[in-house]
Amino acid sequence: MDNPIFAVAARADELRARGVDVVTLAAGEPQSATSPRVVAAAIDAINDPATHHYGTAQGEASLRNLVAAVATTDTGLPWTGADVQIALGAKHALFLALQAVVDPGDEVLVAAPGWPGHAEVVIAAGGVPIPAPTDERFRLTADTLEQHRTARTVAVLLSSPGNPTGAVHSDVQLRDIAAWAVEHEVWVISDDIYRKFDFTGTYRSILRLAPALSDWAVVVGGVSKEHAMTGWRVGWLLAPEEIIASARKHVSRTITHVPLINQRAALAALHDVDTPAAAAHDYRRRRDFLVEALNEIDGIDCPLPDGGLFAFPSVAGLLSEDGWRTSAELAGWLLDTAHVAVVPGEAFNAPGRLRLCFAVDDHTLHTAVKRLKAALEAR
């Protein structure tokens, strides 16, 4: 089956092509533009002939050093630029990490519900994704991971805050997962792409809580979400030497390196701590508005996400045998009737739910909510 996220986007495009005014909360990215400061740095980079030629496979030293410095602040560990590989976005970084640790047929645990990209990237690296059910607040626990571990388990993909659930794991959960991973020699691939969007103030890197995990940890990050730079395709991984060497070799043999202009833009972004902080402030306000509005609709039950960019309500109360039978049917009806695009939970291994992105401007969010309420109340 095609990824339902793309099916929604394709149907929304079809309606737009027919002149319908579709409002979308289906995106998996901030809707704002990249900051003018970053754009200006990219233009300077374009005008610098040094960026017109080959660079190094591992990535520019200036960017790697800054990524290492930020990771040192996050984790308390003494990273250097040698520990960093620059990739074409966090998804590519995840792939590079997985192709280093996965042999064909090896199993990698992924959260269910969870982002489908995690399972897809495991498959791309030759592995088998094994869904591990999350707890009542959508968090992975060491107990569940142990229940799903087999002799072929080589890694777990962890994302906190996560997509689509916004779940932020507790310190105790992260310490337990780290201890479990070290005991069983399982890699923890920590996808920290949403780290700046933690609305509880409790986010801590698993490595800060459990430095002993560092021999078994890969930290993945990037500028895509923090700096509204999904189209620029710059991410990275920090990992032990064997993983970095494998990733460097793979990059060298395939893409040669990430475009230098984009790396310069990412460098400018990493120097800017104000933009992600301001975005987090706005997203928190919009999250509160959206969750409250959704909970006012009969049949919708929306937990308050601790982080991330999404509300992930249950719509089980709206489903029935003689009405919408699934959340996918409901999402299709909302698009056709209210002209609001949302992603059905089926995309995330969570039928009965919808994902709605609140990283949109206030006007879009308010229009979407008004339309959803009107359509569902008039049904």
Ligand X SMILES: Cc1ncc(COP(=O)(O)O)c(C=O)c1O
Residues at the site binding ligand X, with contacts judged by CB under 6 A: 28, 89-91, 115, 117, 159, 163, 191, 193, 222, 224, 230, 235
- Angstrom distance (rounded) from CA 89 to CA 94: 9
Residue 93 or 291 having the CB closest to ligand X: 93
Smallest separation (angstroms) from ligand X to the CB of 225: 7
Preceding peptide of 161 cis, ω within 30°: yes
In the numeric block, which tokens belong to residue 5?
């996220």
Q: Judged by CB, which is closer to ligand X: 218, or 338?
A: 218
Closest to ligand X by CB, 163 vs 263, is 163
CB of 322 to ligand X, least distance (A): 35
What 8-state DSSP symbol labels residue 88?
S
Copy the structure tokens of residue 242: 């064997």
Q: How far apart are the C-alpha atoms of 155 and 256, rounded to whole Å?
A: 27
Please provide the DSSP assignment of 243-296 as one string: HHHHHHHHHHHTTSS--HHHHHHHHHHHT--HHHHHHHHHHHHHHHHHHHHHHT
Work out how close the CB of 177 gets to ligand X at its nearest, in angstroms, rounded to a whole number: 17
Q: Residue 4 or residue 117: which is nearer to ligand X going by CB?
A: 117
Q: Which C-beta is closer to ligand X: that of 238 or that of 338?
A: 238
CA-based angle 198:268:73, to the nearest 5? 45
CB 283 → ligand X: shortest distance, Å? 14
Please give the residue whose beta carbon sits closest to ligand X in the complex.
89
- If the CB atoms of residues 193 and 334 are measured against ligand X, the closer one turns out to be 193
User: Minimum Å distance from CB 344 to ligand X?
Assistant: 16
Q: How far apart are CA 89 and CA 101, in angstroms?
A: 19
The pair of three-digit structure tokens given for residue 56, joined into one six-digit string: 């190094």
- Tell me how far, at minimum, the Cβ of 193 lies from ligand X, in Å: 4
Q: Is 160 exposed, middle or buried (0-12, 13-18, 19+ CB in 10 A)?
A: buried
